[in-house]
Amino acid sequence: MSSNSLLTTQRVFIDLGERSYPITIGAGLLGDPGTYLNLPSASTALIVSNDTVAPLYAQSLQLALQGHYKKVLQVILPDGEAHKDWPTLQLIFDALLANGCDRKTVLFALGGGVVGDMTGFAAACYMRGVPFVQVPTTLLAQVDSSVGGKTAINHPLGKNMVGAFYQPERVICDLDVLQTLPPRELSAGLAEIIKYGPIADMAFLDWIETNIGALLAREPAALAHAVRRSCEIKAAVVGQDEREAGLRAILNFGHTFGHAIESGLGYGQWLHGEGVGCGMVMAARLSQRLGLVDVAFVDRLHALVQRAGLPVVGPRLSDTDNAGRYLELMRVDKKAEAGEIRFVVINGPGHATVRSAPDALVREVIDASCG
Amino acid sequence: MSSNSLLTTQRVFIDLGERSYPITIGAGLLGDPGTYLNLPSASTALIVSNDTVAPLYAQSLQLALQGHYKKVLQVILPDGEAHKDWPTLQLIFDALLANGCDRKTVLFALGGGVVGDMTGFAAACYMRGVPFVQVPTTLLAQVDSSVGGKTAINHPLGKNMVGAFYQPERVICDLDVLQTLPPRELSAGLAEIIKYGPIADMAFLDWIETNIGALLAREPAALAHAVRRSCEIKAAVVGQDEREAGLRAILNFGHTFGHAIESGLGYGQWLHGEGVGCGMVMAARLSQRLGLVDVAFVDRLHALVQRAGLPVVGPRLSDTDNAGRYLELMRVDKKAEAGEIRFVVINGPGHATVRSAPDALVREVIDASCG
C-alpha cells in the first residue's frame, strides 16, 4: 500500500485542442494498471528508462502495463545529461526497429527530465510520430519538463538545440517515487517550483517560503500541493502559447544564465535545476539593475533558493574573461535573435517579460554573482 | 533568359489551415529574386544542397536571396541516398550553430528528394522548428517528395524511419533545371508521375501514355503539365490526410516493394524512382492476383513503366530465399501493423486501397517479377 494513500488523486488538464491531455497527480499510480486505461490501443509498449531509475521502478511499470499490451519491451539508457545526445537516442530507434515495432507502438518515459526529453523526441520522430506517455520520477520532471511537449537532445554547441514540440498522451506524477530521490535531485526540482512564484503567482511564493521545510522533509501533502500548483501554472501558460511564440518564454526564467553554467561546466557537472536556481538569482539581479524590482525582492529570492539547498554563487567559467564566456554561451540560447541575448526578467513581483539588456549591465551581474 | 519563358507560371495550393502553402511551377524561377518575396522575415538564410547540384545552381540561388537576407550561408552535403543519415544531418546543425543561427533562420533545400527530406527534417528539429523552403531540382522531388511535408532520414534497419511531418513555407518548381537532369533521374521522376494515374486519375494515365515521348524529350509544355497535374493530385490527397491516418497511404503505391528493393540492394544502388517503377508493376500484379484488376491493366502499366526507361524486373535479394527476403524487408515498412504487411493495391482503374495479402500470394508475385 502506498505511504501516501490518504491523498486524493488529482488531475490538471493541458488544453491544446486535439492535443489536450491530463496530468494525473497522486500516490501509488505508477504500479497501478488502472493508471494506463484508455490509452491509444497498440500491441506493443516500450518502456524507456535509465540505469539508475530502471532497477527501482521498471519492473513495477512493466507489470502494470502487461494487461494492456501483448508485448512490453524495455530499453535502458545510460543515466545523465552527458548522454542526452544522438548516439543514446539511437538506442531507442534500434530497440524499436529490432523488435519490429509499428507506428502504433506506445513509448513510456520512465525517469527524469533527460529520459522524458529523449523519449518524447524519439516518439516525435519514430515513423514520423508514435504516441508516448510521461512517467516522471523526479520532482523536476513532474513540475516542469514532462509537461508541455518540449522534447530535445543536446548538441555539442548548445543545450536542447535539436528537438520538437510533441505532446504526450498523458503525464503520470506518482508522488511516492519522490521518496527515493537523492537530496540533490529534490533541491533541483524545488528550483523549478520556486520559479513559478516570481513569474506568475506571488501567493504561491509565500506558500513555498512557509512550507520549504515540509517540502525538504518530503511531506506528501506539501509535495502534492507544490506539484499540482506548478502544473496548473504551466498548463495555463502552455495552453496559451504551445510553441513559444511569446508568453511561454517566461517559463525560462533563470534558464539563460543556467544553461550557460550547465554548458560551460560540461553537461552533468551541475544539475539542470541547480543551474536554474543560481540563474534565477542572477536574472533577479539583472531585473533589479534594470530598475524593474527592488533589492528586497532579490534578497528574498536569494534566501529561498539557498534554503532549498541550491547554489546561489555562479561558477567561474573562464580564468581570463569569465563574464565574456557567460555572454558567449548565452548568445546561442534559443531565445536569442540575430546575436542579441533575450533575458526573462521580473518586471514587478509575479510578472515576467522577455527583453534584451546592455552587455555592460549583464557583465556587472555576472561579476557580482560569481565566486 | 529562360528557355521556357513562354510558359506561364502556375500555382497549386496545399490547403492545410495555418500550414497551407503554394507550389509555384514555372520557368526561370530559381534565380529570380521575386520568387522569394513575402517569406517569413529573418536575418539569415541557409542553403542546403549537395555536391552534384550546388555547382550548377547554388550561386544562382545565393544571388537571388541576397536582397532578402543579411547573411546567406551554404552547407553542401555529399550526394546520394547512402548519405541520408544522422552524420550527414548533423552537418546542417553544425553549420547552423557554428554560424549562430537563431530560430527565425530560413532553410532552403536545393536538390532532389534526399536533400529535401533532410533539410525539412533539420528545419523541423533545429531549435524545435524553423521555416524552410523547397527548391526541388529533380523531377521526382518536384512531383512528389518536396510536396506534403514528409521529412526523414534512413535508419540502417529501414528507410525513412526517423522523421517528421513538417510543412515547407513554399515549394519552387523551376522547370528549367530539369534540362540538366541525368536521363536516369528523369525516368525516376516519371515513375512518381505515372503513379498518380492508377491511384487517382485514369485520364492522366492516358495523357502520360500519349506524351511519354515528349516527356522523355523534356518538352517544356509537357513537363509543365505533368508537374502541375501531379502536384494537384498530391495536394488533394495531402489536404485530406496530412499525417497519413488513412487515404494518404495510397500515394505509396509501388513503394512497399520499392523500399524492399532499395534497402535490400543497399541504398543508392537503385534510385528511389526505379524501385517505385518496378514496385508498381509488382503491386499491380498483386492487385490482379487478388482479383481487383485484370491482366490487361497490369500489362498496360508494365509497358508504360518500361517505356519510361524504368526497370520492370525485380532484383534478386537473396540466393536462398528471395521472396522470403522481400517479405522480411517489407515487414518493417511503416504501413505494417503488428508484423502484417499492408499493401497499396489498385481496386479498379483510378482507385487504390490499402490491405494485407496472404504471404503465399505475395511470394508468387515476387517469383513472377524477379530475374
Give me the pLDDT at residue B1, please: 42
DSSP secondary structure string for all residues of B114-138: HHHHHHHHHHHHBTT---EEEEE-S
Q: How many CB atoms lie within 10 A of CB B246?
A: 11
| pLDDT value of position A1 | 41
pLDDT at A333 over 80: yes
**Sequence-separated (6 or more) residues with CB below 8 Å from residue B203:** none
Q: Closest approach of chain A CAs to the CA of B151, in angstroms?
A: 8
* Phi, psi at B42, each rounded to 5°: -160, 160
Per-residue model confidence as pLDDT tens digits over B102-128: 999 999 999 999 999 999 999 999 999
Chain A residue with CA closest to B92: the answer is A162
In sequence order, which ranges of B66-112 are alpha helices (DSSP H)?
A: 86-98
Cβ-based contacts of B337 with chain A (< 8 Å): 102, 104
Q: Which residue of A has its CA nearest to B86?
A: A86
C-alpha to C-alpha distance for B124 and A281, rounded to whole angstroms: 34
Q: What is the pLDDT of residue A5?
A: 54
Where exactly are the structural domains of chain A?
A: 10-180, 183-369
Q: What is the CATH number of domain A183-369?
A: 1.20.1090.10
Do the domains B190-369 and B10-180 match in fold?
no
A74-104 CB burial, b ≥16 within 10 A, e <16? bbbbebbbebbbeebbebbbebbbeebbbbe
pLDDT at B5: 54
Q: Give yes or no for a contact between B257 and B341, defined as CB atoms under 8 angstroms apart.
A: no
Q: How far apart are CA A194 and CA B196, in angstroms?
A: 57
The grid coordinates of residue B23 equal 507550389
Q: Identify which has the larger pLDDT, B273 or A332.
A: B273
Cell numbers placing A268: 552533468
Average pLDDT over residues B7-20: 94
Residue A66: phi and psi, rounded to 5, are: -60, -25
CA distances from A162 to A107, A158, B253, B293 (A): 20, 9, 33, 47
Percentage of chain B surpassing pLDDT 70? 98
Going by pLDDT thresholds of 50, 70 and 90, the confidence category of residue B6 is: low
Residues forming beta bridges with residue B340, ordered by sequence position: B337
Task: Find the chain A residues whose C-beta atoms sit closer than 8 A to any C-beta of B.
Answer: 43-44, 86, 90, 93-94, 97-98, 100, 102-104, 124-129, 150-152, 155, 157-158, 161-165, 243-244, 331-332, 334, 336-339
B307 as an active site residue: the answer is: no
A323 within 8 A of A209, measured Cβ to Cβ? no
Digit-coded pLDDT (tens) for B33-82: 999 999 999 999 999 999 999 999 999 999 999 999 999 999 999 999 99
Provide CB contacts within 8 A for B236, sequence distance 6+.
B200
pLDDT digits (tens, 9 = 90+) for B263-282: 899 888 999 999 999 999 99
Q: Beta strand B132-136 with B71-77: parallel, antiparallel or unpaired?
A: unpaired
What architecture does CATH give domain B10-180? 3-Layer(aba) Sandwich (3.40)
Contact A128, A166 (CB under 8 A): no
Q: Tell me the CB-side half-sphere exposure of residue B7, using CA atoms within 13 A.
A: 26
pLDDT exceeds cutoff 70 at B2: no
B226-256 per-position pLDDT tens digit: 999 999 999 999 999 999 999 999 999 999 9
Q: Of B97, B104, B158, which has the smallest distance from its Cβ to A158's Cβ? A: B97
| Chain B CB contacts of A43 below 8 Å | 338
Count A/B contacts: CB-CB distance under 8 Å. 92
Describe chain B by its helix, strand, coil percentages, rounded to 5.
50, 20, 30
pLDDT tens per residue across span B130-181:
999 999 999 999 999 999 999 999 998 888 999 999 999 999 999 999 999 9
Per the residue annotation, which of B18, B38, B70, B128 is the catalytic one? B128
Residue B283 has pLDDT above 60, yes or no: yes
Task: Say yes or no: ipTM exceeds 0.90.
Answer: yes
Please give the C-alpha separations between residue A176 and each of A32, A55, A213, A221, A232, in angstroms, as whole numbers.
Answer: 12, 16, 18, 11, 20
Mean per-residue pLDDT, B287-304: 98
* Closest alpha carbon within chain A to B159: A127
CB atoms within 10 A of CB A231: 26
Q: Torsions phi, psi of B237, nearest 5?
A: -70, -50
Contact residues, chain A, for B86 at CB < 8 Å: 86, 90
Mutation for testing the A interface, residue in B43, B97, B99, B128 having most A CBs under 10 Å: B128
Nearest CA in chain A to B101: A338
Neighboring chain B residues of A124 at a CB cutoff of 8 Å: 164
Share the mean pLDDT of chain A. 96
At B116, the amino acid letter reads G
**pLDDT score for A332:** 86
The answer, yes or no, to whether residue A324 has pLDDT greater than 80, is: yes
CA angle B244, B249, B252 (to 5 degrees): 130
Between helix B183-200 and helix B220-240 the angle, nearest 10°, is 50
Cβ–Cβ gap A161/B104 under 8 Å? no
Residue with cell 502506498: A2
Judged against a pLDDT cut of 80, whether residue B284 lies above it is answered with yes
Model confidence over B322-353: pLDDT tens digits?
999 999 999 988 888 888 999 999 999 999 99
Amino acid A371: pLDDT: 85
Per-residue confidence (pLDDT) for residue B268, from 0 to 100 = 83
CA atoms within 13 A on the CB side of A130: 28
pLDDT of residue B338: 83
Active-site choice (B50, B154, B252, B322) = B252
Please state, in angstroms and rounded to a whole number, the distance separating the CA atoms of residues B38 and A20: 33
Dihedral (CA of A222, A228, A229, A234) sign: positive
**Annotated catalytic residue within B84, B195, B218, B255:** B255
Judged on CB neighbours under 10 Å (0-12, 13-18, 19+), A188 is: buried
- Please identify which of the residues B159, B225, B228, B272 carries the catalytic annotation: B272
Residue B179: partners with Cβ closer than 8 Å, 6 or more residues away: B3, B218
Asked if residue A4 has pLDDT above 60, the reply is no
**What CATH number does the domain located at B190-369 have?**
1.20.1090.10
A95-116, pLDDT tens digit by residue? 999 999 999 999 999 999 999 9
Q: Name the residue with higher pLDDT: A333 or A128.
A: A128
Reported as a single tens digit per residue, the pLDDT across A228-286 is 999 999 999 999 999 999 999 999 999 999 999 998 999 889 999 999 999 999 999 99
Q: What is the pLDDT of residue A300?
A: 98
